[in-house]
Amino acid sequence: MTSTMQSPTSSPTPSPEIAQSLRGRSLPTWAPKAFGAAAVALALVGVFGPVGFWLVFVAWLVAAVIPLWSMIVEGRRKATDRFVTLLVTTAFVIALFPLGSILTTVVSRGAPVLGSEFFTYSMRNIVGEGGGIYHALMGTLLITAAAAAISVPIGLFTAIYLIEYGEGKRLARWIRFLVDVMTGIPSIVAGLFAYALFVIFFGPGVRMGIGGAVALSVLMIPVVVRSCEEMLKLVPNELREASYALGVPKWRTIVKVVLPTALAGIVTGVTLAVARVIGETAPLLIIAGLTDSVNFNLFDGRMATLPVFTYFSIITPGVPPGPSIERAWGAALVLLIIVMLLNLAARLVSYFFSPKGER
Amino acid sequence: MAKSIDVSDLNIYYGDFLAVEGVTIPVAARSVTAFIGPSGCGKSTFLRSLNRMHEVIRGARVDGKVLVDGQDLYADDMDPVNVRRMIGMVFQRPNPFPTMSIAENVLAGQKLNSKRMKKSEADDIVERSLRSAGLWNEVKDRLDRPGSGLSGGQQQRLCIARAIATQPEVLLMDEPCSALDPISTSVIEDLIHELKKDYTIVIVTHNMQQAARVSDTTAFFNLAGVGQPGRLIEHGPTEKMFSNPEDPATEAYIQGRFG
């Protein structure tokens, strides 16, 4: 056994030419880090400092030294690698820029407004300072919850049909196509649809929270269908077969094997769909309207929501305009926080609900 | 328990494609029958048609007769769900349910069908099934841990325990050892020897030594060419099949001259 383990050519001293050709020449390891750090520092000074925004471009030029230097020292292949790395990083930073800008602006302008009065008061009989978003917050939560209650069953059952029953059928192809079309419906059209629908029953000028929920669910259903469909697709067919082979009927297999296996993904998808529609303004503007008072009844009269409240606080601030605009920023911040919490919840759910493997 | 199967003139289709043609074979009760043959010759397809798992695939259908104790499985009034309760199956790749613990996996046949039972009864079933699958000693301290945390060989034995927990009459095994190492394979082969006392076992295998070791009867499947349907070439007692087969193709295959 040991004789076969020995390698036939065992030369302890490697030849210098081969060693050189294998290694090639390279930049000192500190170089990319140093230039990167310098570029970041310059860019930060450019954005926040007194010098001027043009410093950001200087920063980028500093970072661009690395590929050029690499071209001279290391040759074409590694220079290309470094150049593409630079491009990708630049694109990432540019993509991050609006996000950072929005966050800092909304937090810096909205945070001072937040307080116990802001969360517990409505705008009833408030002129000028004071008042809060309690009515809009409750409206947003109620309408979004109702929208989820409408669209989750419809979306989930549609996805179950598409994956478990519709495979290869013409009806399934049509449903898939229509869901794709539905994804592209502008939100204002969803609002007009809900308004037109409710006008049939309640006459023109109708304003109702539930109408807003219907409009939002028009936007939400395709998202739920798509995400649930993807999650159900991920459940291995072997599990379905294992269940059938135990003499379990198809519907029980779906309820007790397929859905629990996909649960984490489904809940995550639904949460993200909720986060997607909770900030919709246009449809709620049409059908839910705005009010200054608290309204817990989805089926009776106008209902304030955070996006619509924000919109009107900016558009019709009253005299003096200051407090109203401050409240708008506060409401925007609260909406942002809700969306972030929903995303966080989605993460936690997918962590705790996903099937436990080796641990 | 343990029933014999009589297959007569079975044709198996995927859509319009005839995959297996004209199989007629008896399977004796309380014995091990091995199906061997080259890839794509339809032995797995044939095995899946024995508990109506074949028709789970879209467009798949069967004609001919599969009699279990004189009952035709493909009669119009037969419920495939009940057929599968009577004829259990173990798959090529171990497939425990990832959302369930080891104990729940064993009880899956009962639990998924929402069968009510007492805790003591359930514990009995778990212990009995795991013991007969030769897994009890390895997992008795962690029955509530997820089944997907076990090794491949243990998972496959868990799947066997799950299949026998519902007390089927027949156990079908579709290359149960092909994803396992030699040690796990020999554990499962010993297990097949044990299970033979109580169950009728049909096993598909690519490993001819395995067929020779575990089976009482061997059936050889072959296909004339690509796109042609698979056929049952011959079947008989394993000893005879391996020492003195009638068909020259069987002899060539067993001696490793093709396939």
> What pLDDT does A106 receive?
93
The nearest alpha carbon in chain A to B56 belongs to A241
pLDDT tens for chain A, 359 residues long, are: 444 445 555 556 667 777 767 777 777 888 888 888 888 888 888 877 777 778 888 888 888 888 888 888 888 888 898 899 989 988 998 899 899 889 999 999 999 888 888 888 888 887 778 888 999 999 999 999 999 999 999 999 999 999 999 888 899 999 999 999 999 999 999 999 999 999 999 988 889 999 999 999 999 999 999 999 999 999 999 999 999 999 899 999 999 999 999 998 999 999 989 998 998 999 999 998 888 888 888 888 889 999 999 999 999 887 788 888 999 999 999 999 999 999 999 889 888 877 765 43
Angle made by CA atoms A208, A212, A216, in degrees to the nearest 5: 165
Domain range for B207: 5-93+170-254
A247 vs B93, B109, B159: nearest CB: B109
The nearest alpha carbon in chain B to A358 belongs to B149
Rounded to 10 degrees, what is the CA torsion of A169, A172, A173, A178?
A: 160
Inter-chain CB proximity A247 and B162 less than 8 Å: no
Considering the domain boundaries, does residue B73 fall inside one?
yes
Q: How confident is residue B184, by pLDDT bands cut at 50, 70 and 90?
A: confident
Is B14 within 8 Å of B26 (Cβ atoms)?
no
Residue B177 to residue B184: CA distance in whole angstroms: 8
Q: How far is B92 from chain A (nearest CA, A)?
A: 10
> What pLDDT does A8 receive?
52
Tally A–B CB contacts below 8 A: 87
Residue B234 to residue A130: CA distance in whole angstroms: 92
Structure tokens at B216: 């009482």
Q: Is A357 on the interface with B (CB under 8 A)?
A: yes
Residue B62 to residue B50: CA distance in whole angstroms: 10
Structure tokens at B101: 């613990």
Inter-chain CB proximity A245 and B84 less than 8 Å: yes
| Cα Dmax for chain A | 96
- Number of domains chain B contains: 1
The nearest alpha carbon in chain A to B52 belongs to A245
Considering the domain boundaries, does residue B102 fall inside one?
no
> What pLDDT does A116 receive?
87
Instruction: Indicate whether B1 pLDDT > 80.
Output: no
Tens of pLDDT, residues B201-252: 999 998 888 999 999 999 999 888 878 888 899 999 999 998 888 888 888 8
Structure tokens at A172: 């399934």
Probe site for chain A from B48, B51, B56, B97 (most A CB atoms < 10 A): B97
Neighboring chain A residues of B96 at a CB cutoff of 8 Å: 242
Is A66 within 8 Å of A31 (Cβ atoms)?
yes
Residues B127-139 have a mean pLDDT of: 89
- Indicate the burial class of A274 (C-beta count within 10 angstroms; 0-12, 13-18, 19 or more): buried
> What pLDDT does A88 receive?
94
Q: Is A244 on the interface with B (CB under 8 A)?
A: yes
Looking at residue B183, which CATH number applies to its domain?
3.40.50.300
B112 vs A238, A252, A261: nearest CB: A252
Tens of pLDDT, residues B109-125: 888 888 888 899 999 99
Residues B63-72 have a mean pLDDT of: 88
Probe site for chain A from B95, B106, B125, B166 (most A CB atoms < 10 A): B95
Considering the domain boundaries, does residue B147 fall inside one?
no
> What pLDDT does A2 receive?
45
Q: Is A169 on the interface with B (CB under 8 A)?
A: no
Instruction: Indicate whether B145 pLDDT > 70.
Output: yes
Considering the domain boundaries, does residue B114 fall inside one?
no
Q: How far is A255 from chain B (nearest CA, A)?
A: 9
Considering the domain boundaries, does residue B111 fall inside one?
no
CATH match of A120-353 with 1.10.3720.10: yes
Q: Is the pTM of this model over 0.95?
A: no
Report how far Cα A30 is from the mean position of its chain's Cα atoms: 37
CB proximity list for B188: less than 8 A, separation 6 or greater: B153, B156, B157, B160, B176, B177, B180
Angle made by CA atoms B215, B219, B223, in degrees to the nearest 5: 145
CA separation, residue A100 to residues A94, A150, A271, A341 (Å): 10, 34, 23, 18
Sheet holding B5-14, edge to edge: B71-72, B60-68, B5-14, B17-27, B230-237, B217-223, B32-36, B200-204, B170-174, B87-90
Segments making up each domain of chain A, as ranges: 2-112, 120-353
> What pLDDT does A4 receive?
47
Element (H, E) at B222: strand B217-223
Inter-chain CB proximity B99 and A260 less than 8 Å: yes
> What pLDDT does B2 receive?
74
pLDDT > 90: percent of chain B: 32
The nearest alpha carbon in chain A to B107 belongs to A246
